[in-house]
């Protein structure tokens, strides 16, 4: 067990129960929660289902930042519901236009040493300010708002020792891309990353937040920086100096693994299609033509990022072969660059200014043309996430992005004949919280607005004694929640589960053949159970619990994979789907789509927590093999699954 770490100290301060041993389940108290509209609507519906009159946290905030395109009434209907239910339940409300949840929370609400649970996988952005900030499914966040502790695996702690100082044109984004080249996106479940060393003081809070934000792509529970003088400077500039608390690891802290990164040796990097850990140097890509550049997202849209971009663009023109779009991360950032003239410099250079929101990062607008390369300062480049099938999306730093936009091709920014802009952190940020809506002291008489597109969370049936399961689909490695429940234009269906369920695994539908939803529904309606089979890192990416709710609605009773990612595993449990892993990974190869997986005495086997015996029966009805599966080993998870999901309890 790692000792004397910042991770250990924060867990100890928030400990509720459980064994403080790696791999064991520990419960911690949650101080703050955040939701965003793509996941928040279901979270508040679930909170209502718990009959919770008022949230029990120190602070809960409902942000609207994802679904702001209003093609049809669905998104605005959700916004009205979120606004009214926040007032009724004692939750602050950040409306459309105020900014991306992680950026705004870092600026205005994050507190070092506190715990934050958010219904978005990039909640670990708060680690840049010294919070233990964790992404989770909406139901887990609803439970936290109801005052329930959050249960997680007591983590291994990887210490990342930073030394040196970043050279001009090399960025915090390049640091996390470098770490992704080492740790990759899989195999890090049950782990937290903690940064320490002399190099930490060379990074501002926005730079640290870039690193912790994209740490989500590692598959770790969270990442965290110490709270030090740079943290104090940031909070003071935000008018929140009183929130500063020094938080560091002990000098002799013990880590389970130490990775050393010399910031002097970091060079501009890119995550190539279609995974955040497919890393190459920009020097390797130099000269490759590019059709689109987008700067923004919760990873890279701080004042510092956009001030640097504006300084480079001033007096210059974007390549005529490139469309450049820029999305500020918050209203604070947008207003600051508007008042100091930087916004005008961007517009004059040919940039298109997008709304302060998630937009293009989740495939809502700005989809690239067929056969063209899109260069983005985002955190994910999963296949099709841009909204264009067969897309070629690369993830880079703002420094590389602006250089590429000027040249029309991949360009190592160090080769520009431009002096690197020296951007200092402001002594004082523009403070204006007038869009934040505070709830009334007593919200019992607030009318909650429910338009006709607002549904209810569907309930599952208790787990049957026998699983007679048809393998509806067999997929490979790194299946993301975007594969399962696509974002983009489909996210507006998030409050209508029967409609959203129709597009589950849509990306794998072959022309002229039944979709996954049609096949699963047919099996369900025939009185049988559906099974999904995957390989490594199943369910990585977004915290979107719809990737569990919609399969549950379609009759899926088990997901069997070599490895299942943390948040998705928890979401499967919460909605009564068994997350099972192969005892022998080679057994994956024994199963084909259309096979039957039979589990007798399922409830008894699951309750034993000693593994599960299952039989594979071929589509021809002949037995193929008996296999052994690993099920949940946490008694609470078992009880939830047996009941058919958390809401049934």
Question: 627 and 559 in one domain?
Answer: yes
Whether 482 is in a domain gets the answer yes
Q: What is the mean pLDDT of residues 391-400?
A: 97
Query: Are 390 and 532 members of one domain?
Result: no
Integer angstrom CA distances of residue 587 from 48, 160, 540, 615, 624: 42, 36, 22, 11, 11
- Residue 1 within any structural domain of the chain: no
468 is catalytic: no
| Adjacency order of strands within the sheet including 59-63 | 92-94, 59-63, 32-36, 115-118, 132-135
Give yes or no: 65 in active site: yes
Residues 377, 480 share a domain: no
Helices (H), 408-559: 481-484, 497-500, 516-525, 546-553
251 and 334 fall within a common domain: no
The DSSP output letter for 126 is G
Same domain, 141 and 256: yes
Q: Report pLDDT digits (tens) over 280-314.
A: 999 999 999 999 999 999 999 999 999 999 999 99
The domain boundary residue, chosen from 212, 239, 265: 265
C-alpha span between 112 and 117 (Å, rounded): 14
Quote the pTM value. Answer: 0.94
| 250 and 340 both lie in a single domain | no
The one catalytic residue in 108, 208, 376, 380 is 380
Whether 313 and 218 map to the same domain: the answer is no
> Is there a catalytic annotation at residue 535?
no
Distance CA 423, CA 342 (A): 13
Catalytic residue among 31, 37, 78, 120: 120
Residue 456 lies in a domain: no
| Distance separating alpha carbons of residues 26 and 15, to the nearest angstrom | 8
Half-sphere exposure of 345 (CA within 13 A, CB side): 16
DSSP H helix total and E strand total for the chain: 20, 26
Is 628 among the domain residues? yes
102 is catalytic: no
Model confidence over 244-290: pLDDT tens digits?
999 999 999 999 999 999 999 999 999 999 999 999 999 999 999 99
Active site annotation includes 66: yes
- Please indicate whether residue 76 or residue 491 has the higher confidence score (pLDDT): 76
Tell me the per-residue pLDDT of 376-394, one tens digit each, with 9 for 90 and over.
999 999 988 999 999 999 9
Has residue 419 been placed in a domain? no
Average pLDDT, the chain: 95
Catalytic site residue from 397, 542, 568, 637? 542
Residues 348 and 408 in one domain: yes
The residue annotated as part of the active site, out of 331, 529, 544, 566, is: 544
Is residue 446 in some structural domain? no
Q: Cα-flanking dihedrals φ and ψ of residue 98, to 5°?
A: -85, -20
CATH of the domain at 532: 3.20.19.10
| 94 plus 213 within the same structural domain | yes
The token pair at 562 is 């070599």
Do 298 and 171 share a structural domain?
Answer: no
Residues 51, 116: one domain? Answer: yes
Decide if 426 is inside a domain: no
Domain holding 354: CATH number? 3.30.499.10
**Which candidate in 31, 60, 62, 65 is catalytic?**
65
Q: Is residue 423 part of a domain?
A: no
Which of the following is catalytic: 14, 66, 566, 598?
66
Number of domains observed in the structure of the chain: 3
Residues 221, 296, single domain; the answer is: no
Domain final residue pick, 265, 294, 322: 265
Measured between its terminal Cα atoms, the distance across the chain in Å is 34
Q: Which of 347, 378, 413 is the last residue of a domain?
A: 413
Domain that holds residue 594: 467-488+495-644
pLDDT given at position 393: 96
Residue 12 falls in the annotated catalytic set: no
């Amino acid at each position: 067990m790692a000792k004397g770490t910042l991770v250990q100290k924060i867990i100890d301060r928030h400990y509720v129960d459980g064994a403080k041993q790696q791999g064991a389940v520990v419960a911690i108290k949650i101080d703050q929660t955040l939701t965003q509209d793509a996941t928040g609507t279901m979270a508040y519906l679930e909170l209502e289902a718990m009959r919770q009159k008022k949230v029990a946290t120190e602070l809960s905030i409902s942000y609207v930042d994802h679904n702001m395109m209003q093609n049809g009434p669905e998104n605005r209907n959700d916004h009205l519901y979120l606004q009214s239910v926040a007032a009724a339940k004692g939750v602050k409300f950040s409306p459309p236009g105020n900014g991306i949840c992680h950026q705004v929370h870092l600026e205005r609400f994050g507190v070092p040493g506190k715990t934050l649970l958010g219904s978005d996988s990039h909640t670990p952005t708060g680690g840049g300010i010294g919070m233990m900030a964790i992404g989770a499914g909406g139901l887990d966040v609803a439970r936290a708002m109801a005052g329930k502790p959050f249960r997680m695996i007591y983590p291994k702690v990887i210490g990342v020792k930073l030394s040196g100082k970043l050279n001009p044109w090399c960025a915090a984004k390049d640091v996390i891309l470098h770490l992704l080249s080492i740790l990759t996106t899989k195999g890090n479940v049950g782990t937290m990353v903690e940064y320490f060393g002399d190099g930490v003081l060379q990074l501002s809070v926005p730079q640290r937040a870039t690193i912790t934000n994209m740490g989500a792509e590692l598959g770790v529970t969270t990442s965290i920086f110490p709270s030090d003088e740079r943290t104090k400077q940031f909070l003071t500039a935000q008018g929140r100096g009183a929130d500063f608390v020094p938080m560091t690891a002990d000098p002799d802290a013990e880590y389970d693994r130490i990775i050393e990164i010399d910031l002097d040796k970091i060079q501009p990097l890119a995550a190539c299609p279609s995974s955040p850990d497919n890393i190459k140097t920009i020097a390797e890509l130099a000269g490759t033509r590019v059709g689109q550049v987008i700067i923004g997202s919760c990873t890279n849209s701080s004042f510092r990022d956009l001030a640097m971009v504006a300084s480079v663009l001033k007096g210059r023109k974007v390549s005529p072969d490139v469309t450049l779009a820029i999305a500020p991360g918050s209203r604070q950032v947008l207003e600051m660059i508007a008042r100091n003239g930087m916004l005008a410099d961007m517009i004059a250079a040919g940039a298109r200014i997008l709304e302060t929101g998630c937009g293009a990062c989740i495939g809502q607008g700005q989809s690239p043309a067929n056969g063209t390369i899109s260069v983005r300062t985002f955190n994910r480049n999963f296949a099709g996430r841009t909204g264009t099938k067969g897309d070629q999306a690369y993830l880079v730093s703002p420094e590389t992005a602006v250089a590429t936009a000027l040249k029309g091709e991949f360009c190592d920014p160090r080769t520009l004949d431009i002096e690197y802009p020296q951007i200092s952190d402001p002594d004082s940020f523009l403070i204006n919280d007038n869009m934040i809506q505070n709830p009334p002291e007593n919200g019992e008489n607030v009318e909650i607005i429910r338009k006709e597109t607002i549904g209810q969370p569907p309930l599952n049936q208790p787990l049957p004694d026998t699983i007679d399961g048809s393998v509806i689909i067999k997929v490979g490695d790194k299946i993301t929640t975007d594969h399962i429940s696509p974002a983009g234009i489909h996210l507006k269906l998030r409050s209508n589960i029967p409609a959203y369920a129709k597009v589950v695994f849509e990306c794998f539908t072959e022309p002229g053949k039944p979709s996954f939803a049609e096949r699963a529904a047919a099996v369900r309606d025939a009185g049988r159970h559906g099974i999904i089979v995957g390989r490594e890192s199943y369910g990585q990416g977004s915290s979107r619990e719809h990737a569990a709710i919609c399969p549950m609605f379609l009759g899926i009773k088990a997901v069997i994979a070599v490895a299942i990612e943390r948040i998705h595993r928890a979401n499967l449990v919460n909605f009564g789907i068994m997350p099972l892993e192969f005892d022998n990974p080679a057994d994956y190869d024994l199963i084909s789509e259309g096979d039957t997986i039979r589990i007798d005495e399922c409830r008894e086997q699951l309750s034993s927590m000693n593994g599960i015996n299952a039989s594979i029966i071929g589509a021809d009805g002949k037995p193929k093999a008996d296999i052994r599966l690993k099920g949940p080993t946490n008694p609470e998870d078992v009880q939830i699954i047996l009941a058919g999901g958390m809401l049934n309890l």
